[in-house]
């Protein structure tokens, strides 16, 4: 096994597997968050958040997700360092725009952006809900179900936060445009026919996820103005 994980394909296998995990997580996360858009009372969202916070299965998955995420980052660093070393002397002139997408060539940078955004995002919500608590969470809390809705919607009333989240969603989107098909390809789950299909599915997924995550703060912000 250690041989396998030391091989280039083994390491990528891990990237792909953890990536799939994150892709799945993003979709679930978006589904829960989208409840903000559909129920102005916030009840639906709060219930979902409560469920996610207390359900034993989710509790098990949560640390696994965290480990997967950390592995994704560690292996990204290892692979990227190896890749840089593989070309000790660079070209004077290199044109790659015709042969590969910008995102595919900048996955590491995009990954860092997503990571930075994520750190901010966690400190904004998850950290408060899970550990430190917040006065808005208490306001109108029903039993032990916190008012996460209030925390989120209040937070998104600040324009610079909204812009930050839009940038985060864009970075995530670019990362995903390459990540989705790439994850299949690395597992060998692609061929000439499926490549086109997966590309399309990946694009739809990216638009839904990145678009969805961008729309929520915008929606809340606009709603607060009215």
Partner 1 sequence: MDLTLKVWRQENRKAKGRFETYAIKNISPDSSFLEMLDVLNEQLIREGQEPVVFDHDCREGICGTCGLFINGRAHGPDEDITTCQLHMRKFKDGDTIVVEPWRAGGFPVIKDLMVDRTAFDKILQAGGFISINTGSAPDGNASLVAKEKADEAMDAAACIGCGACVATCKNSSAMLFVASKVSQLAVLPQGKTEAVRRAKAMVAKMDELGFGNCTNTGACEVECPKNVSLAHIARLNREFLAANLKP
Looking at the Cβ atoms of 81 and 130, the one nearer to partner 1 is 81
Looking at the Cβ atoms of 154 and 185, the one nearer to partner 1 is 185
Looking at the Cβ atoms of 79 and 118, the one nearer to partner 1 is 79
Chain residues binding partner 1 by CB under 8 A are: 3-4, 6-13, 79, 82-83, 85-96, 98-101, 104-105, 107, 178, 181-182, 185-192, 195
- The nearest distance, CB 144 to partner 1, in angstroms, is 45
- The nearest distance, CB 195 to partner 1, in angstroms, is 7
Looking at the Cβ atoms of 57 and 193, the one nearer to partner 1 is 193
- The nearest distance, CB 102 to partner 1, in angstroms, is 10
- The nearest distance, CB 77 to partner 1, in angstroms, is 12
DSSP-assigned letters across all residues of 52-88? HHH-HHHHHHHHHHHHHHHHHHHHHHHHHHHHHHT-S
φ/ψ of residue 145, rounded to 5:
-90, 110
Looking at the Cβ atoms of 134 and 178, the one nearer to partner 1 is 178
Cα angle 65, 70, 75; round to 5: 125
Q: Count Cα neighbours of 144 within 13 Å in the Cβ-side half-sphere.
A: 5
Question: Three-class SS of residue 142?
Answer: strand
- The nearest distance, CB 116 to partner 1, in angstroms, is 21
CB atoms inside a 10 Å sphere around CB 216: 22
The terminus-to-terminus CA distance of the chain in angstroms comes to 58
Which has the closest alpha carbon to 113: 154, 194, 182, 167? 167
């Amino acid at each position: 096994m250690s041989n396998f994980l030391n091989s280039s394909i083994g390491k990528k296998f891990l990237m792909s597997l953890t990536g799939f995990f994150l892709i799945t997580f993003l979709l679930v996360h978006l589904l829960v968050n989208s409840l903000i858009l559909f129920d102005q009372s916030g009840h639906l969202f709060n219930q979902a958040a409560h469920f996610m916070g207390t359900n034993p299965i989710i509790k098990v998955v949560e640390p696994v997700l965290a480990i997967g995420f950390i592995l994704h980052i560690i292996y990204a660093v290892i692979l990227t360092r190896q890749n840089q070393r593989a070309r000790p002397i660079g070209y004077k002139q290199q044109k790659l725009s015709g042969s590969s997408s910008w995102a595919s060539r900048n996955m590491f940078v995009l990954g860092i952006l997503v990571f930075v955004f994520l750190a901010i995002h966690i400190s904004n919500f998850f950290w408060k809900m899970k550990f430190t608590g917040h006065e808005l969470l208490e306001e109108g809390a029903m039993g032990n179900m916190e008012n996460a809705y209030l925390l989120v919607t209040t937070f998104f009333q600040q324009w610079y936060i909204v812009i930050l989240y839009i940038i985060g969603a864009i970075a995530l989107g670019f990362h995903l445009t390459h990540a989705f098909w790439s994850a299949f390809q690395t597992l060998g789950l692609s061929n000439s026919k499926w490549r086109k299909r997966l590309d399309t599915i990946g694009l739809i997924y990216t638009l839904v996820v990145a678009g969805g995550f961008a729309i929520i703060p915008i929606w809340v912000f606009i709603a607060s103005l009215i």
